[in-house]
Amino acid sequence: MKNKSFIYLLAMVIAVPFFSSCGYNKMVSLDEGVTSQWANVENSYQRRMDLIPNLVSTVKGYADFEQQTLIQVIEARAKATQVTIDPTNLNEANMKQFQQAQGELSSSLSRLLVTIERYPDLKANQNFLELQAQLEGTENRISVERRKFNEIVQSYNSYIRSFPRVIYSGWFGFEKKVYFEADQGASQVPKVDFSK
């Protein structure tokens, strides 16, 4: 019996310094940082989601406005709200699905704003102008939060993949996180034609 007690005591004496110096607490802290920043990203996207119904309502007031464009925005918003990611499960497949849904919403919003150019009365509407400014600000916030997220993920990934932590980070369940990638087509240079 005394032999077992001695072994347990020895194991505790060895385990305490190991866990305090192995970086476990730092891995937990960095993982929490990723989760916290993911919440900031989601908040920015949610702000955009919240602005869209007001934008659609304002535009709907113009009877001859293209209804198909509005339907596309509404459908893209509905699809984007259905795609959520648990921050503890940030894998490539989930992130691609999330980015695709958000990209479709961005695309439909862009088409809506381009279509509005043909409606001078709508472009002069104060509610619309305020919503447009808020939407532009929100898009900037989304970009900033995504950049911060990638920076925090980079710190986390570097830490858990550095020696000697790479040996035991997996034992504790710390897996590599995925980054936000550039939107599809972002690497292509836009064509500018001033002849029109």
Q: Is the pLDDT of residue 8 over 60?
A: yes
Q: Which fold has domain 23-168?
A: de novo design (two linked rop proteins) (1.20.1440)
When pLDDT is cut at 50, 70 and 90, the band that residue 189 belongs to is very low
Round to whole Å and give the CA distance between 118 and 123. 9
Q: Is the pLDDT of residue 150 over 70?
A: yes
In the chain, where the domains are located = 23-168
The mean pLDDT value of the chain amounts to 83
Percent residues over pLDDT 70 in the chain: 82
Here the tokens at position 179 are: 């980054």
The pLDDT, as a whole number, for residue 186 is 44
What pTM did the predictor assign? 0.77
Q: What dihedral angle (degrees, nearest 10) is formed by the CA atoms of 29, 32, 33, 36?
A: -160
pLDDT digit string (tens) for 50-84? 999 988 888 877 756 677 888 889 899 999 999 88
Round to whole Å and give the CA distance between 187 and 185. 5
pLDDT digit string (tens) for 34-54? 999 999 999 999 999 999 998
Round to whole Å and give the CA distance between 101 and 104. 5
pLDDT digit string (tens) for 161-177? 998 888 888 888 899 99
Q: Is the pLDDT of residue 33 over 80?
A: yes
SS3 readout for 54-94: HHHHHHHCCCCCCHHHHHHHHHHHHHHHHCCCCHHHCCHHH
Q: Is the pLDDT of residue 194 over 50?
A: no
> What would the mean pLDDT of 79-105 be, rounded to a whole number?
89
